[in-house]
Copies of this chain bind each other. A is one copy, B any other.
């Protein structure tokens, strides 16, 4: 199930159409310094998140799962000038926490989670082609059964990958750009006080998955 058919009120970046775009699975080559054809990347993802739940505690949890990302056509066939736009169309990440239970993170269907890959204005010095910067602004649902709540963010989680040498940046480490604490709200009381905070997030992008791994 994707969130594609749900009306999105919050748009975090440029929309990318999925119409006619092929799904890409295990075995798809990832070529360095080369803008690829449009595709839906089915990729593994692993992350280490820290939640702070006031009155309950701080919890370091490790998630594993997958994402499905639709990529636009590159704006240029040469690497140097190419920009690529992305939408996160599906995400499922699961963590086991003794205190919080089995946490499942999915996309908030009210949000278009979106990003882009382009050459930064402050590139790292180095030989060869300039590496790109990847960013994605994400609206999540964090289902925490032992807490009896599903939490969501209103500031997007900004996931970034630097030193991008291929698209997708399979295998690359990344970071959630969280300044001190990102407020999380209860879907049952969306205008109430935040019930938790995401205070840290780092991740590793995995490689292409087999089709049965994202079903």
Contact = CB atoms under 8 A, between A and B. Distances in A.
A200 to B, nearest CB: 10
Main SS at interface, chain A: loop
Interface stretch (A25-33, A88-96, A140-148, A175-183): A175-183
Contacts of A15: 191
Interface in A131-182: 133, 135, 137, 154-156, 158, 160, 177, 179-181
Interface of A: 9-15, 52, 58, 75, 83, 85, 114, 116, 118, 120-122, 133, 135, 137, 154-156, 158, 160, 177, 179-181, 183, 185, 191-194, 197, 199
Contact of A185 (B14, B52, B156): B14
A201 to B, nearest CB: 13
Contacts of A12: 154-155
Contact of A120 (B75, B114, B177, B180): B180
Contact of A193 (B75, B177, B183, B199): B75
The oligomer's copy count stands at 2
A158 B155 contact: yes
A188 to B, nearest CB: 15
In the complex, which of the residues A114, A177, A179, A181 has the most CB atoms of chain B within 10 Å of its own CB atom?
Answer: A179
Given A9-B9, A181-B133, A199 B14 contact: no
A11 B121 contact: no
A14 B191 contact: yes
17 contacts: A10-B11, A12-B155, A14-B185, A14-B192, A14-B194, A114-B154, A118-B181, A121-B180, A121-B181, A121-B197, A121-B199, A122-B180, A133-B180, A135-B179, A135-B180, A137-B155, A155-B158
